[in-house]
Amino acid sequence: MGPGALAAVRALLLYRMVEPPAAAQITLVVPQDDAALLFGTVRSALVQVPGVHLAPSLDAALMVMEAATKYPRVSGTPLVRPEEQTEVVLVATPAPYAVPRLRTALDLPAAYGRAVLLLGSWARGGTIRVQPDGTVSAAFPAAAEQLNGTRLFTRPEPEAATLVESLRATHPAPLWPQASPAGVDAPVSDPLSAEAAPAVRIPEQDALELCVLGRMSLVHRHHGQEREITDVTTPKQREVLAFLALHRQGASREAIAAALWPETRSGRPYNAFHATLSQLRRALRQALGGSLDGDDIVLHHDDRYVLDARRVRVDLWALRDQLDHADGAVPADRADLEEALARYRGDLAQEVSGEWPDGPREALRREVLDTYGILIQAAQAHDPVHALALLERARPLDPYNEALYEDIARTQARLGRPEAVPRTLALLATNLAEIDEEPSPETVALCTALARRAGPNR
């Protein structure tokens, strides 16, 4: 960490790209966001640099490391070169939701040839603070103190970009299998593959719908009829379903157990998970009445537990697909995106009190709000009535945001509804009172002025 951390890590990675050690082959696994942080606009060129695995997310990067640690192949695809000795180095920014998995990765002995290099604060291991010139100004705990005063090599981003481009030029085609946007690659024949699923997807009239946005629910749709079966599951069983819904490409039992049972210290840390999963499958088998087999809802494949996308429809997945498709811009056809946003009825797995949902829960909420903001801005110019409707849909997601209420009041006044502005201000005051706050004088003054306006011409 520190002002010189990125330049130091950048230099270290470039050195390993250019001159890997002769005794072993090294795979550098880097999430795309961190690659952009380190190498800017040339991050996409990394897919053609030998020894670099560019992962779409931190989850996908951890999946690569976990799979490489246990088996040399995932879904039949080699993750690393087949030489006898292979080292895997994960370079990433730690996220709160991934702390258990990162801790597991960091605990691997050096004999496994696995290493983790984290960008930023990490309270559970050795940390060094790097100054702009590469000097280590602080190192802790005691095992790292020998690095105090050491000067590390650094590399500015422009020079790094030039070097990456030159490395790509020498290898015009990707030399390493790269993770697809959905996670670890899977062949078309893989029953868990997103590409294979449509060919064997069950009929629309027979499906299990899992809602993890807001109040969790399970609904069985069978031949035009629907029946909610949420009550047949326990809170812990629903937490397992929520975790697998978040990890669409599956998760190892180690990751699931570390996230859902972090306090387990016994010699059999996976007993609770296996018991919960067995009881969940039994409950679903009985509730579904044989139309869908409970054992087929949660599959175990390549050391991963995964929800079968051919049999389960998840509201989070539908929303995630639309958000990824929009990619921060207003699509030509906004109807599908707005319909997907309507699925966001509350926080991700809001009834789960564990730590694992905190990071992705807040990240998704902010992304949904940002997408609403983009749609609202586009609608304000030509359809203020629709913009107001979108503002009212976004308001419950951020009930203490004064700027949101100000935009609602401005739009109400623009539409010739000044009498609605005081009600908007009163609603803001009521919500802020819940957290012992009150509207700012600026917001009160704005709403007072808007309420006096006669209509849109003013």
**What is the per-residue pLDDT across 74-94, written as a single tens digit (0 to 9) for each?**
333 444 444 445 678 889 988
Contact assessment for residue 40 and residue 168, using Cβ atoms and an 8 Å cutoff: no
Of 194-198, 348-352, 425-429, give the lowest mean pLDDT range: 194-198
CATH assignment at residue 291: 1.10.10.10
Q: Is residue 223 part of a domain?
A: yes
In Å, what is the CA distance from 132 to each residue of 4, 43, 122, 155, 437?
Answer: 4, 22, 20, 11, 41
pLDDT of residue 412: 92
User: Cis (ω within 30 of 0) for the bond into 441?
Assistant: no
Assess whether 208 and 142 both reside in one domain: no
How many CB atoms sit inside 10 A of residue 358's CB? 17
25-31 vs 225-228, strand pairing mode: unpaired
Looking at residue 267, what is its pLDDT? 63
Residue 174 has pLDDT above 60, yes or no: no
17 token code pair: 């790209």
For residues 300 and 424, state if they share a domain: no
Q: How far apart are CA 136 and CA 94, in angstroms?
A: 21
CA 331 vs CA 44, 168, 292, 337, 379: distances in Å: 24, 33, 36, 8, 12
**Residues 358/348, Cβ–Cβ less than 8 Å:** no
Q: How confident is the model at residue 110 (pLDDT cuts 50, 70, 90)?
A: low
Q: How much is the pLDDT for 97?
A: 66
138 lies in the same domain as 209: no
DSSP-assigned letter for residue 201 = P
Q: Residue 366 in contact with residue 354, Cβ under 8 Å?
A: no
Mean pLDDT over residues 163-188, rounded?
46
Of 123, 151, 169, the domain-final residue? 169
Residues 260, 162 share a domain: no
Q: Say yes or no: 154 and 37 in one domain.
A: yes
Are 223 and 263 within one domain? yes
Q: Is residue 254 part of a domain?
A: yes
This prediction has a pTM of: 0.55
Task: State phi, psi for 71 to the nearest 5 degrees.
Answer: -135, 155
- Higher-confidence residue: 345 or 185? 345
What mean pLDDT do residues 222-230 have? 83
Residue 140 has pLDDT above 80, yes or no: no
Domain count, the chain: 3
Note whether 206 and 263 are same-domain residues: yes
Q: Which amino acid is at 455?
A: G
Percent of the chain whose predicted confidence (pLDDT) is above 70: 77
Q: Is 151 helix (H, G, I), strand (E, B) or coil?
A: strand
Can you state the angle between helices 32-39 and 157-169, rounded to 10 degrees?
A: 110
- Compute the mean pLDDT over every residue in the chain, rounded to the nearest whole number: 78
d(CA 369, CA 63): 29
Are 192 and 244 in contact, with CB atoms under 8 Å apart? Answer: no
Shared domain check, 423 and 298: no
| Domain encompassing residue 221 | 197-315
Residues 6+ apart with CB under 8 A from 386: 379
What confidence tens digit (pLDDT) does each residue in 6-33 have?
Answer: 889 988 888 877 765 554 567 888 888 7
* pLDDT tens per residue, range 265-292: 666 778 899 999 999 998 988 888 765 6
| CA–CA distance, 389 with 174 (Å, rounded to integer) | 47
Average confidence (pLDDT) over 95-114:
69
| Pair (40, 159) in one structural domain | yes
* Same domain as 422, residue 277: no
